[in-house]
Amino acid sequence: MSAAGSFLAVGNCTLDDVVTPDGQISPRQLGGNAVYAAAGMRLWGVHVSLVSVVGSDYPTTWLDQLAGAGIDVSGITEIPDPHLLRSRAFYFADGSRTDRIEEARDLLPAHAGEIIDLESEYTDTGSPLHRRIWPSFCPDLTQFADIAGRSSHVHLAPGPLPCSRANASFLKELRGDQVVISFDWPWWDWDKEGEVDFALLRNIDYLLPSIEELTIHADAVFSAEEDGGGEGGHVFEAARRLLALGPNGVGVKMGARGLRLLLRGEADWIQIPTYPTEAVDPTGAGDAFCGGFLVGMAQTQDPGQAALYGAVSASFIIEDFGVLHALNVGADQAHSRLQLLRGRRGRQDLDA
């Protein structure tokens, strides 16, 4: 498939409060899984469209900045309700994160409450508020058939299961084998982590969850079954089972430990390294990876090579707070890092 086709990121825009392990606080920054994915695509110099939903009070200056960087925002719908998709990201020294204040109390500096809102209910993933309002911010691709119809590579960022299922089905009905779809999570319904939505997965080409998300699924699957082959084995077995349901590959994002990629017909993981850089704010790295991965698929048709594109996209995102700084990255910078990362992976293969 030609790399000349358009790229599409489908998902959410958010307002994020971020607290890093050293106590730095970045309030109300532009975020959202689809925004980071679109940024991860754009830095390679390709045409990118963003389909999302925002509330009536969402900062239009951010949308103007995205458009100014060359991202098509004509697929962003405004609803009359306030933009309730606000999130908090509290990072611990080991790289893990939480969006729940009660889990981050020991991390927060004394003055945190003066900078960010620690009292209001936010849309912590899985919370009653999150479950209630997430569908309102679910983009409907049938409203943007023109954008979808010219898109050759589409990333479906996390969203309510019925929304993701409908969008994936619409894309495949519209474009068939002419579209490559990557998907993050969830592929299960609320509180049914051990179950799989077959109608969704049969339309997904590459499943790209984090290790935490795949572990949630794997633990639920094997809680009433065998142990899956010992420590870590149940995660591999879960990925193998998911491959049998439709995807061509499962890529497991592992933060600073890189990515593990399992392809259909292969007997073991392929290990993909990260690009070495200083991480200031890891928020959105996984989403940017997904965007870069799709550009790599378009340009190489090789999932292993595509994962290197994803790692490069993630490396730019984490170097500062939020996403806006990454809009200044050019394709020449991205390809320079790609060459360095290819060399690093080559040395890694020799050492193995």
In angstroms, the CA 110 to CA 108 distance is: 6
In angstroms, the CA 163 to CA 183 distance is: 12
Its pTM stands at 0.94
Using alpha carbons, select from 254, 258, 276, 256 the residue that is nearest to residue 337.
Answer: 276
User: Which domains, and CATH codes, for the chain?
Assistant: 6-82+132-351 (3.40.1190.20)
Higher pLDDT, 284 or 350: 284
| pLDDT score at 225 | 55
Using alpha carbons, select from 26, 97, 102, 12 the residue that is nearest to residue 58.
Answer: 12
Share of the chain above pLDDT 90, in %: 82
- Residue 235, pLDDT > 80, answer yes
Hey, CA dihedral for 331, 335, 341, 346, is it positive or negative? positive
Hey, CA dihedral for 148, 150, 154, 157, is it positive or negative? negative
Q: Which pair of structure tokens corresponds to residue 200?
A: 């969704």
Q: How confident is the model at residue 232 (pLDDT cuts 50, 70, 90)?
A: low
Q: Which pair of structure tokens corresponds to residue 202?
A: 């049969």
Q: Which pair of structure tokens corresponds to residue 25?
A: 């606080």
| pLDDT score at 229 | 45
Q: How confident is the model at residue 178 (pLDDT cuts 50, 70, 90)?
A: very high
| pLDDT score at 344 | 82
Least confident of 116-120, 155-159, 171-175, 221-225: 221-225
Average pLDDT of the chain is 92
- Residue 192, pLDDT > 50, answer yes
Q: How confident is the model at residue 105 (pLDDT cuts 50, 70, 90)?
A: confident
Q: How confident is the model at residue 228 (pLDDT cuts 50, 70, 90)?
A: very low
